[in-house]
Amino acid sequence: MSERTATKEPVTDKPPVQASGLDSGRRERTIGRIGAIMLAVIFLVTIELLVLNEVLNDIIVPRPTDVVSALIATFSEGFFYGHLWVTTLEVLIGFVVGTLLGFGLGALLGISRRARAISYPYIVAFQGLPNIVLAPVFITIFGFGIESKIVMAIAISFFPVLINTMAGLTGVDPQARRLMRSLSASDWHIFTKLSLPSSLPLIFAGIKTGLTLALVGAIVGEFVGAESGLGYLLDVYSYQLEIPRVWAITTVLAVMGVILLLFIEWVDRKVVFWQSQRELATAV
């Protein structure tokens, strides 16, 4: 064996560094989750003690243990699942349709300056209306069934998707666009290879906001007039002053929103994968 071969130092590649960055990201997420759980436990214990010592009135803020008991009792009742299904269906249909409408219209306004100049003021005026004003109108048109709640969810959720889609498409680097033009790229290729990929982070931010608003729209519609749904149960339990039940249904709605949002974030990481890689590279 030659002296050069014997004294050759081991070669270090990037994968260990990337693995270290990945481990660091997982560690940060784990610490964040543990911290969030500890904060929730401290908050719930504090509320429990304040109510037990009559610092807080249990008519307004019930004990967390009473809310857990009401939650268990609610899940043990068969009629609850019918109301849960109705609200879930309203939110999902309203969110999907609202997202498709928002993306389609936002893409049109982002691409066509003339269409943006003509229709954008009317869209802003429609969104400027208070959301609660729309609910009686939709109920008058579509009735007390599920249709009016779906339309309400669509009307509220599509606007953030529209705005973010339009902002993403109009904010594309003009130099990159000119470069593709110089390479004889068609409008479709510019849209699919440049404009849309660069806009996806903003679009998904609008989709996440639209998901939250779809849930709000469905519940607002059920408050105004409904025969079923979690919002209907909230209205009934509030009228009957069954406050632990009210907080139990509120907890179910919060968990539903978190589950749907986590799913959208998972899709976001899979579609906009280069964003996660960029964050990982920054962390390294």
Token pair belonging to 8: 């050759």
Mean pLDDT of 259-281: 76
Q: Give me the residue label for tokens 């996660």.
A: 276
* pLDDT tier at 23, thresholds 50, 70, 90: low
Greater pLDDT, 13 or 173:
173
Mean pLDDT of 53-59: 78
Cα 68 to Cα 83: distance, rounded to the nearest angstrom: 19
Helices 15-52/64-75 angle, 10° precision: 100
**Average pLDDT, whole number, for the chain?**
81
Cα 84 to Cα 256: distance, rounded to the nearest angstrom: 10
The sign one gets for the Cα dihedral 137, 138, 141, 144 is negative
Cα 264 to Cα 260: distance, rounded to the nearest angstrom: 6
pLDDT at 93 over 90: yes
CB-CB contact of 127 with 67 (8 Å): no
pLDDT at 214 over 60: yes
CB-CB contact of 119 with 243 (8 Å): no
Which has the closest alpha carbon to 138: 119, 127, 151, 153?
151
Mean pLDDT of 226-240: 86
Greater pLDDT, 248 or 116:
248
- Please give the pLDDT value at position 275: 67
Mean pLDDT of 12-26: 54
Angle value at C-alpha 59, between 56 and 65, nearest 5 degrees: 75
Greater pLDDT, 136 or 89:
89
Size of the chain in residues: 284
Token pair belonging to 139: 């109920």
Percentage of residues of the chain with pLDDT beyond 70: 87
